[in-house]
Structure 1
Amino acid sequence: MYMLLLILLGVIVLFTTFMTKPKKRIHHRLVSLGLLLVVVGGSGVYESYQGNTSTGDNPRQSVKTTTDSSTDLSKLNYQSDQEIEVNNNKPTFTSSDLNINNGAWQSFTNLDNLNRAVRADALLNKGLMPTAKREPLYVNPTGWHNKKLKSGWLYNRSHLIGYQLSGQNNNPKNLMTGTRSLNSPEMLKHENDIAYYLKQDPNNYIRYRVQPIYRGNELVARGVQMMAESMDSQGSADGQVSFNVYIFNIESGVTINYSDGTSVVNNN
């Protein structure tokens, strides 16, 4: 406000000087004073504007953390974002992966030599979605050492492909030990987007892949990679659901021993 007043005062001085035409010496002094007031006021306004844009008065959209598709995800350590984009959030399915000629299907890789869930693939369609109520889970995935926290249980039996999409429930090939935050809200928000899309049209498809990422022989995954690509009835990608993300299997305030699933609650 004060800077604007200086500019206004400078303009008034200049205007008055040129209108009244005082003696030459006074004229020069008044012109110099008027110009000085305008320059000082203008500089103050500019600095104020710069300060506002840098402190958030003119916010920019935040950039989501991303990693290259060739990155070994098992070597990544959690920093600040539980979910990061892979390959700029673009799925890496091939044209044959996106073939819909055989209709909807789902496939679960056999457990590995440590009995860990490995990968789930599917061409999802509304026809695969269950109508029956889900039964209680009883299968314990590898590294299942659950613990009650103040905010709830540390772990969930996390489906690779959510029950609401596949009808698969107590399938050991489709279950991993996941933290509560990994399961919900992180994985669930993507599953809900997929479910919504499939319900809009029974001829819609989504190519889907979910893969736990382990480090060496650890029994609990460090995270999970999820990819999805939506397609219309002609098998053409429509971009309505399209993502490639990696979600860290962490829980705030807890240190997890990924080798066996035991954990320590941090007191600080």
Structure 2
Amino acid sequence: MTFSNSKWAAVQGRILPLILALLLSLSILPGCSGESGVESSSPEGSAGIEQPAAEEEVAAPEAAGDGEAALDVSQLPGYTGSPYVVIADNVPGLTEADAEGVTESYSPLDALGRCGVAMAVVSPETMPTEERGSIGMVKPSGWHTVRYDDLVDGKYLYNRCHLLGYQLTGENANEENLITGTRYMNVEGMLPFENDVAEYVERTGGSVLMRVTPVFVGDELVARGVQMEALSLGDGGQGVSFNVYCYNVQPGVSIDYATGESWRSDQQGAALSSSQEMDYVLNTSSKKFHLPGCSSVDRMAEKNKQAYTGTRDDLLSQGYDPCGNCNP
């Protein structure tokens, strides 16, 4: 049969739509899905299915970053009278493998002149054999010379605190090993743990891997405290093993960690009696309470945030802990 051009065009106009409809119903056109609900293998598939996966991929790096970040003092108990608090059941985040190739290691000062992590394998060979020299020429970040004769044993609020004690490494006027620390942190917080390491090394002739990390918040020049970790080598930590955070505080004195300025506690509202009513912000999830201006409040989920006016004692009795950042 012979078709004229006009007749052939008419046939095409009727047949092609039928063929297209059939192909769609059989789900064989690329990039399309039929009523069966089977996902396309193309990365441009259903937005309703792909979006949760994309959100998880974004969240995962943030969670990993948080885990790798420096110790978050806002997650630690606030200072309540003890010079230190135990971390991770007192188990150091160190292994004997970390000691390989290490004798002593100090971080270079950052852009604000602040110290970083200090690490050493303490042994009889690293301990000093001569008297300590002067370190008065070193001015750590946030340094101030200030006295509180009736409040501080030794009169001066700040010491030039060795991250790794002189008795352990013989490092003296090393600016990468000295921070601005209160007399209280230096003597009551850090020294007992340094003595434990020194005693073990002297008694056994063995070695101890030690790491000390100053903990700064934001751009503050004075550390909120130091994390001290130690593990005796060759015995799996049977001789010495600890993981503690020492508070850089001085009873009776309040400190502006951003600058190093200080004042007697009874002169500032943040250090008022624990039985006096004040405004706080509660985190009902972590069970911590904060001063309203604390930086941790800005990062708090709204559903967990609760304004509270009352006394510090009342919050403690309700099971809340003071924030380790703002020390309310």
TM-score (norm 1): 0.68
Task: Give the counterpart of 2:159 among 156, 162, 177.
Answer: 156
| Aligned: 1:215 with 2:217 | yes
- C-alpha contact (below 8 Å) 1:69/1:87 kept by paired residues: no
1:185, CA displacement in angstroms? 2.0
Q: 5 Å matches for 1:235-246?
A: 235-246=234-245
Residue 263 of structure 2 corresponds to 264
**Equivalent residue of 1:170, what SS?**
coil
Residue 110 of structure 1 corresponds to 108
Instruction: Assess, with a 3 A threshold, how the Cα gap between structure 1 residues 238 and 82 changes in structure 2: closer, same or farther.
Output: closer
Task: Give the counterpart of 2:198 among 195, 216, 220.
Answer: 195
- C-alpha contact (below 8 Å) 1:69/1:86 kept by paired residues: no
Looking at structure 2, the residues matched to 184 and 171 of structure 1 have their Cα atoms a distance apart, in angstroms, of 20
1:77, CA displacement in angstroms? 6.0
Residue 85 of structure 2 corresponds to 84
Looking at structure 1, the residues matched to 258 and 215 of structure 2 have their Cα atoms a distance apart, in angstroms, of 13
**Equivalent residue of 1:196, what SS?**
helix
Task: Give the counterpart of 2:128 among 127, 130, 149.
Answer: 130
Residue 247 of structure 1 corresponds to 246
Looking at structure 2, the residues matched to 115 and 226 of structure 1 have their Cα atoms a distance apart, in angstroms, of 21
Identity of aligned residues (%): 40
Unaligned runs of 5+ in 1: 1-67
Looking at structure 2, the residues matched to 94 and 192 of structure 1 have their Cα atoms a distance apart, in angstroms, of 21
- C-alpha contact (below 8 Å) 2:211/2:228 kept by paired residues: yes
Residue 146 of structure 2 corresponds to 147
Instruction: Assess, with a 3 A threshold, how the Cα gap between structure 1 residues 194 and 96 changes in structure 2: closer, same or farther.
Output: same
Residue 205 of structure 1 corresponds to 207
Looking at structure 1, the residues matched to 228 and 237 of structure 2 have their Cα atoms a distance apart, in angstroms, of 18
1:260, CA displacement in angstroms? 0.8
Looking at structure 1, the residues matched to 229 and 118 of structure 2 have their Cα atoms a distance apart, in angstroms, of 11
1:69, CA displacement in angstroms? 10
Residue 43 of structure 1 corresponds to none
Residue 228 of structure 2 corresponds to 226
Residue 38 of structure 1 corresponds to none
Looking at structure 2, the residues matched to 243 and 207 of structure 1 have their Cα atoms a distance apart, in angstroms, of 11
Residue 121 of structure 1 corresponds to 119
1:98, CA displacement in angstroms? 4.0
- C-alpha contact (below 8 Å) 2:140/2:180 kept by paired residues: yes
Residue 314 of structure 2 corresponds to none
Structure 1 segments of 4 or more deviating over 6 A? 68-71
Looking at structure 2, the residues matched to 179 and 226 of structure 1 have their Cα atoms a distance apart, in angstroms, of 16
| Aligned: 1:73 with 2:72 | yes
Looking at structure 1, the residues matched to 221 and 196 of structure 2 have their Cα atoms a distance apart, in angstroms, of 29
Instruction: Assess, with a 3 A threshold, how the Cα gap between structure 1 residues 69 and 112 changes in structure 2: closer, same or farther.
Output: closer
TM-score (norm 2): 0.56
- C-alpha contact (below 8 Å) 2:189/2:247 kept by paired residues: no
Looking at structure 1, the residues matched to 131 and 106 of structure 2 have their Cα atoms a distance apart, in angstroms, of 22
Looking at structure 1, the residues matched to 259 and 77 of structure 2 have their Cα atoms a distance apart, in angstroms, of 18
Residue 44 of structure 1 corresponds to none
Looking at structure 1, the residues matched to 77 and 175 of structure 2 have their Cα atoms a distance apart, in angstroms, of 27
- C-alpha contact (below 8 Å) 1:106/1:122 kept by paired residues: yes
Unaligned runs of 5+ in 2: 1-66, 268-328
**Equivalent residue of 1:188, what SS?**
helix
**Equivalent residue of 1:164, what SS?**
helix
Instruction: Assess, with a 3 A threshold, how the Cα gap between structure 1 residues 149 and 241 changes in structure 2: closer, same or farther.
Output: same
Looking at structure 1, the residues matched to 96 and 134 of structure 2 have their Cα atoms a distance apart, in angstroms, of 38
Deviations along 1:89-112, one digit per CA (max 9) or x if unpaired, are 00111342144xx5x711101111
1:73, CA displacement in angstroms? 2.8
1:238, CA displacement in angstroms? 4.2
CA RMSD, Structure 1 to Structure 2 (Å): 2.1
